[in-house]
Structure 1
């Protein structure tokens, strides 16, 4: 069918302005985007309690978030009466229920398998009705809504590892230490990685020299898939001040990037945050990494670093481009990619480093101080920072931030305490906040996505494939302005310790858009999904279509995978 539409050829970063009847088969040539921010800084609202401290957080369905804590005496109880250390938070009711974890998850990590199962690995020693978790692998099946624990199957201790969903849909567990420590050291270093499910049928550790070179600041190493057209499993790895590209299939380093300038440590406990900036087909998904925050000194009185570095990973002789992080130093910042492709930097402290307080009461010494209550919004194209509305709740060690499919951001956690303590200056924090970014206050109509591939939108994932052209029905209520649409696919990731494992944002090509002749204010939109899994890993993601920077009422949950061979 030759679909016609009210459309112009003014295209900016996925933007299509509806003006006149033309055949639709156009695509943007520039990643720049028009912005229509209303000039407000967003709003904060305390909506509920997490039940357990939000040391880890992961969006498991459009309206549910799972929190994971360390072993401690939370008020929320499991059915057997023991203190819960994992909970499920309902975004509609703001109620929480305990989940069935029975091993210590302290300082573990997580990521999604391509089949939509969440994997969580590692932890610490047991006690208080909890078993040892340092060699435990946990699976969360959204259909069941609870955890299955495979105790002792991990071949070595994993405390403070990183995790990543690979292009083949398996997960990588990278580094960490064999025991807890303020910073790593040779005798407890775990300079290896493992793959789950194991390609050989047996879980094995594979040596990685990079994790020895970067001692002592190599815990929770930063790792991201590097997009490429060759189908290679290329990884960007960063720890301490050093970054490399690593060919996982060949088992060798491809590129040694220059050290990030300034003599600043960026890894735990001098914790920075890393994010791969939004990818666009207009420049062949050219990848740029951004690393922000950290400190120069392993000292609790040291000021946090006010700098960010940007690095184009596929550029020959790539060099870091530095800025001042909006003028605010942060240790332990969280970086969350928003629906419109801007980056929210939130949480953290202006002084010190990651870790628990020393002592108690009036003699307590907090190793992270001066909470930064004001978030910044970073425009990756203009390279500018905007100051947003401030929270009133300090969010420092063991805090999280995650995007919610309705365009808001859930922010929780903060527990610079070795155990639950509600009476210190910075108490164990259970309050859950929702931050509404400025784009939710635009005057433009928010799209309502009715269906994808003829399937009505609900909380269930819709199966889609790489390179597939999908059809979406969208309602945009007439408000007297001309609709202008952009589209993206976002993987929301797994958040802990200022790292968001596998978080990814990709602009989508809008190949056609047509007014539905049967229904007023309704449009038929065709989108082209990314061509291969190095651009965005397989597994659960959300598709968004937004109008004049007004996000949809909710994104569409999808399960992205390779099409079956004919």
Structure 2
């Protein structure tokens, strides 16, 4: 109870200050060369564990821990009080879970990180006799506590299916949603407002009108939000819903650009597509390009999923969408996940229908999402090409997730196209966790083994770094007869739910110096320059990587990116 009171007191007055020495688990020993497998050119899926709760939401909270969040339903994983857990912490080393203490309904909520490294999760649905209402609740996950703290009823309005994003200030933007559960939004329950958490004034949270979400009805739930990079440090947001996008100046509360309507289908829930900002590169001044893929053209059970993607350069005058065929496969509810080399894994989803629960039961059940797409595409943003990879055996449709793990693998979990836990049906409530080993893990190039950053050993604690800083890294790379060819990047892994990876971002880093360490065989010292300001990548927890050709490191480095004092 004291922890809750302290956290709340800090929040209403400003930002929480976490101890620099917040504990995270160190990585186990890993091979420096990738495993060899004759079938590995297309990647490999492996079922590794059980999520405990259905993985409607997922977030990497430390190098070897993922937190899953479900809704109010009867999961087999129990809290100490005997009630079903609504959230779990998954250990990637042991493939085991432990229940976490959420006591309000998290159904269709959202999340993002504060700049100080505290995870914020907000919204949800009404409760019952044992669980509180989550629809005006804000939840905090603090690594030093290892569990959730819930601030019930502090939001000024109900939010179900909102979007969230970390702002350059380190605060969190919470946008839209509806005031009650619904299949398709409608005017009487629409919430066309945003709030900023914690309150920038230090007082109560307030809602600010946002008319764009009214014009985007009825397909405006889980709107897509991306901070637009710029050198001026202005807080500008790309916001998209239905088939239209705008640029919004949050500092001055005004629309500064209206973009053309995207071709193809509708992209917002329940005709759900996925959006991603393509990797940002200092060599082209962090030029921002948005990519939006999948969805559907009609709210019909038998409607084939949309097989198109659009790319839009946000800084080109009179920019038009550059459309493609999404590799030739339609997907509704796809997930888009960055891989370490800057390519994108499009994974999960259905080939027909829309996001939602089956109607009826037994042999006559009508599944509103069907034809699961079992294989992912790997997309090369530079070449604009799609490569079909190995297929999973597990349908991952409504309420599925995917996230990059710092060792270069991808965790996939979830799928629950029904309102209550059901196991012996065509598409059951899915608890199995998979790890996907992308093709680059089978490269002949030796994997870098990052030893330290700024003299600190990696992944024992978050390492504090600053915007514009040049950081020194020590790396071991086994020799294969050729000198290493290194690139660097920093990735914010985001918060994943309903095909949206909130605040996910990839930024290439300039390697400003690189030399051989004469004291140790196969060891190198390099310096990397971090992005210049928090519009390029959000403040808070991210991971720094260096990769050798196409081969990722044994692990990225967990950092806390902040403004210098």
Same fold (TM over 0.5): yes
CA deviation vs aligned residue, 1:210-258 (integer Å, no higher than 9, x gap): 1101000000000000000111000000000000000000000000000
Alpha-carbon contact 1:38-1:442 (below 8 Å) kept: no
Provide the rounded CA distance (Å) in 2 between the counterparts of 1:134 and 1:272: 24
- 478-487 vs 531-540, which deviates more? 478-487
Alpha-carbon distance in 1 for matches of 2:129, 2:400? 24
> What is the rounded CA distance, in whole Å, between the counterparts of 1:125 and 1:216 in structure 2?
22
Within a 5 Å distance, the mapping from 1:100-139 to structure 2 comes to 100-127=101-128, 129-139=130-140
For residues 226 and 316 of structure 1, the distance between their equivalents in structure 2, rounded to whole angstroms, comes to 15
Counterparts of 1:238-387 in structure 2, within 5 Å, are: 238-262=240-264, 264-387=265-388
* Separation in 2, partners of 1:481, 1:515: 14
2-side partners of 1:38 and 1:470: how far apart? 38
Provide the residue aligned with 1:218 in structure 2. 220
The separation in 2 between residues aligned to 1:70 and 1:258, in whole angstroms, is 36
The answer to whether residue 144 in structure 2 is matched with residue 143 in structure 1 is yes
Asked if structure 2 preserves the Cα contact closer than 8 Å seen for 1:38 and 1:441, the reply is no
* CA–CA separation in structure 1 for the residues paired with 2:95 and 2:303: 38
Cα deviation for residue 479 of structure 1 reads 1.6
CA distance in 2, matches of 1:447, 1:38: 23
Q: Distance in 1 between matches of 2:341 and 2:120?
A: 28
Q: Equivalents in 1 of 2:99, 2:335: separation in Å? A: 25
Give, in whole Å, the separation in 2 of the partners of 1:303 and 1:50.
30
How far 1:39 sits from its partner (Å)? 7.3
| Residue equivalent to 2:481 | 480
**Residues 107-157 of structure 1, C-alpha deviations (whole Å, 9 max, x = no match):** 000000000000000000101511111000000001111000000000000
Corresponding position of 1:540:
541
Q: Which residue does 2:446 correspond to in 1?
A: 445
Gapped regions of structure 1 (runs ≥ 5): 1-36
Q: Secondary structure at the match of 2:213?
A: helix
How many angstroms does 1:459 deviate by? 3.7
Q: 2:5 matched to which residue of 1?
A: none
Cα separation, 1, equivalents of 2:124 and 2:86: 12
Instruction: Say if 1:430 and 1:128 are closer, same or farther in 2 by CA, change over 3 A.
Output: farther
Deviations 1:468-513 (A, max 9, x none): 0000000011122221000000000000000000000000000000
User: Which residue of 1 is the match for residue 526 of structure 2?
Assistant: 525
Q: Give, in angstroms, the shift of residue 347 of structure 1.
A: 0.2
Matched, 1:227 2:215: no
Cα distance per residue 1:245-282 (max 9 Å; x no partner):
000000000000000023x1100000000000000001
Describe the SS at the equivalent of 2:293: strand
Runs of 4 or more, structure 1, over 6 Å off, are none
Structure 1 contact 61–459 (Cα < 8 Å) conserved: no
Q: Which residue does 1:416 correspond to in 2?
A: 417
Q: 1:209 aligns to what?
A: 211
8 A Cα contact 1:182 1:269, kept in partner: yes
**2:263, 2:368 → 1: CA distance?**
25
* Residue 516 (structure 1) aligns with: 517
Displacement of 1:307: 0.1
Partners of 1:369 and 1:166 in 2: how far apart? 37
Q: Does the 8 A contact of 2:115 with 2:539 survive in 1?
A: yes
Give the deviation of 1:38 after TM superposition.
Answer: 9.6
* CA distance in 2 between partners of 1:38 and 1:230 (Å): 48
What SS does the aligned partner of 1:40 have? helix
Specify every segment of 5 or more residues in structure 2 that has no aligned partner in the other structure, as ranges. Answer: 1-37
- Counterpart for residue 62 of structure 1: 63
Give CA deviations for 1:62-86 in whole Å, capped at 9, x if unaligned: 0000000010000000000000010
- The answer to whether the 8 Å contact 2:40/2:442 transfers is no
Q: Secondary structure at the match of 2:310?
A: strand
**Aligned pair count?**
527
Match of 1:25 in 2: none
Separation of aligned partners in 2, 1:142 and 1:224: 25
Deviation per CA, 1:380-410: give whole Å up to 9, x if none. Answer: 0000000000000000000000000000000
- Please give the root-mean-square deviation of Cα atoms over the aligned residues, in Å: 1.0
Partner of 1:563: 564
Choose 475-484 or 75-84, whichever is displaced more: 475-484
Distance 1:38-1:320 versus aligned 2 partners, 3 A rule: farther
